[in-house]
Amino acid sequence: MYRPVATAAATGGVPTDNGDYVVTLDQVPRWNDAEIRSSLEYENEDPSFSKSFLSDPLTSPGEESGSNGLASRFPVDHEINSKIYLWRGQPWNLEVDAVVNSTNESMDEVHSSQGLHAAAGPGLAEECTTLGGCRTGMAKVTNAYDLPARRVIHTVGPKYAVKYHTAAENALSHCYRSCLELLIENGLRSIAMGCIYTEAKSYPREPAAHVAIRTVRRLLEKQKDKITAVVFCTSTSSDTEIYKRLLPLYFPRDKHEEAVAISKLPADVGDENGETIIHERKIRIKPLPKKVIPKPSQPPAEVPASDVGLVQRNSSYLDTYLDPAFMSLMKDPDQRRQEQWEKTAQARGGWNCAKMLGFGDIGGPPLSAAEEYSLHSRCLAKANSLNLSEIAEMKIL
């Protein structure tokens, strides 16, 4: 069974029959609760912190306050804010519908979130071996076994390299989105997510937090009626501080935070899914060329009055768009192939084997009986004169 956690006991966790503690959602601080606001101001020991967030190397340069008339890219949404939780602790101690396990492509126990397999029991590892692995950026679901959650969603975070920054950013965004989409597909409504960007994969903590938070925000904007709770779980104080500092940018709780976020957000906050926009890779769809409408021609005198409109339509519309070669009559493919073969045979008729050997042109006029006998005799004499003893000694046949 999962191990007892001091944080759960301190917050009044519910003990199980084995003495372990389960933390319910009503014991986890909600993002729009007043407790988090007061803790933010206290922990930073700065009376003006509520008006000026800590500096962030990814945010856009500009004034510390004021929107300068710009529209907010993440406006205040109290319904979405009510679904966000921030908790310091391991996600598998929470009583939610699903917890996220950051693993590798093989989904083995060694590279999974530390302590999860020990808490879930051996059944989890056995089920993981039957799934055939998991690709980077994708997610798969299993039973939770001894955990208080109902399901475990496994995902594979990307390895970070500076030269592939955009690819790693989009892969990490896809991890979070895949987990939430899998949650909805399985009819689940609450999820606890640790930091998928593990230190072993060298992903910078703060840029990764930007990707995680904005991806969750974008998906909740579309599916907020299908998800009741998303718990961001942190295991270190530095990660907790990062989330406390960045959450107001993407989940502002009032108009003041929304106005400050306008100047503090990064220049690139992704597309409607939170992924990085690569303008060079966009598919450019150009409009159709302008239609040249010729002057209406006079219909022939013999055309009936009822067909005048049809003649004018053909001249003004069809001629503009249709290629005449497309409308021309073509021969049957088999007939064309037969004609090609006949032409090839005629071209090669004068260069057949018999002519090269001095036996005349087989492609010429038919031979008489005497000529056929003479040709046969010469071929037979030539065959009898050949010495094939060396081939006979090889006993090939």
Q: Which position has the higher pLDDT, 14 or 114?
A: 114
Q: What is the dihedral of CA 257, 261, 263, 268, to 10 degrees?
A: -170
**Phi, psi dihedral angles at 21 (to 5 degrees):** -110, 140
CA torsion angle 206 212 215 221 (round to 10): -100
Number of structural domains, the chain? 3
Of residues 91 and 333, which shows the higher confidence score? 91
Average pLDDT over residues 210-238: 95
Q: How confident is the model at residue 21 (pLDDT cuts 50, 70, 90)?
A: confident
Considering only CA atoms, which of 223, 218, 143 is closest in space to residue 174? 218
The pair of three-digit structure tokens given for residue 91, joined into one six-digit string: 């996600």
- What pLDDT sits at residue 251? 95
The confidence score (pLDDT) of residue 124 equals 95
Q: What is the domain-level CATH number for residue 91?
A: 3.40.220.10
pLDDT beyond 80 at 246: yes
Asked if 145 and 120 count as a contact pair (C-beta separation under 8 A), the reply is yes
Return the residue matching tokens 């993407």. Answer: 250
Write down the pLDDT at residue 153.
97
Residue 307 or 226, more confident: 226
- Per the domain annotation, does 313 fall within a domain? yes
Looking at the fold, whether 227 and 299 belong to one and the same domain comes out as no
343 pLDDT band (50/70/90 cuts)?
confident
Taking alpha carbons only, the member of 49, 50, 48, 51 closest to residue 66 is 51
pLDDT band at 28 (very low <50, low <70, confident <90, very high): very high
- pLDDT higher for 235 or 392? 235
Least confident of 10-14, 79-83, 367-371: 10-14
Q: Is residue 112 part of a domain?
A: yes
To the question of pTM greater than 0.95 for the whole model, the response is: no
Same domain, 179 and 301: no
Length of the chain: 397
Residues 56 and 186 in one domain: yes
178 within domain boundaries: yes
Say yes or no: 254 and 356 in one domain: no
Lowest mean pLDDT among 173-187, 244-258, 293-307: 293-307
Task: Give CA–CA dist 1/288, Å, rounded.
Answer: 65
Segment of 13-17, 221-225, 318-322 carrying the highest mean pLDDT: 221-225
Residues 165 and 295 in one domain: no
In a domain, 212, yes or no: yes
Query: Do 172 and 29 share a structural domain?
Result: yes
Task: State residue 375's pLDDT score.
Answer: 84
Please answer whether residues 155 and 178 qualify as being in contact, where contact means their C-beta atoms are separated by less than 8 angstroms.
yes
Per DSSP bridges, beta strands 98-103 and 151-156 are parallel
- The region of weakest confidence among 28-42, 69-83, 219-233, 358-372 is 358-372
At 53 the pLDDT is: 39
Q: Judge whether 182 lies within some domain.
A: yes
Q: 101 and 134 share a domain?
A: yes
Decide if 245 contacts 86 (C-beta within 8 A).
Answer: no
Q: What is the pLDDT of residue 242?
A: 96
State whether the Cα torsion 204-159-91-219 is positive or negative: positive
Query: What is the per-residue pLDDT for 243?
Result: 96
Q: Is residue 86 assigned to a domain?
A: yes
What pLDDT was estimated at residue 9? 41
Of the pLDDT bands very low, low, confident and very high (cuts 50, 70, 90), residue 358 is low
Q: Is the pLDDT of residue 57 over 70?
A: no
Tokens linked to 313: 């339509």
Q: Is the pLDDT of residue 173 over 50?
A: yes
Asked if 356 and 308 sit in the same domain, the reply is: no
**pLDDT greater at residue 73 or residue 362:** 73
**Domain membership flag for residue 130:** yes
* Claim to verify: residue 262 and residue 307 sit in the same structural domain: no
Q: How far apart are the first and last CA of the chain?
A: 78
- pLDDT of 253 above 90: yes
Please check the confidence at residue 144 and state whether its pLDDT lies above 60: yes
What is residue 203's predicted lDDT score, i.e. its pLDDT? 93
Q: Whole-number mean pLDDT of the chain? A: 79
Q: Which tops the pLDDT comparison, 196 or 47?
A: 196
Q: What is the mean pLDDT of residues 46-54?
A: 40
Judge if 222 and 104 occupy the same domain.
yes
Q: Which tens digits make up the pLDDT trace of 312-325?
A: 455 555 555 556 66
Q: Is residue 335 part of a domain?
A: no
More confident residue, 362 or 83: 83
The answer to whether residue 191 scores a pLDDT higher than 90 is: yes
pLDDT at position 56: 47
* pLDDT exceeds cutoff 60 at 292: no
Alpha-carbon gap, residue 366 to 378, rounded angstroms: 18
**Nearest to 155, CA basis, from 173, 163, 166, 165:** 173
Considering the domain architecture, whether residues 163 and 17 belong to the same structural domain is answered as yes
Please count the other Cβ atoms lying within 10 Å of the Cβ belonging to residue 3.
12
Where in the sequence is the domain holding 351, given as residue range(s)? 340-361+368-386
Asked if the model's pLDDT at residue 396 lies above 60, the reply is yes
Do residue 61 and residue 124 come from a single domain? yes
Give the rounded percent of residues in the chain with a pLDDT score beyond 90: 47
Band of residue 276 on the pLDDT scale cut at 50, 70, 90: confident
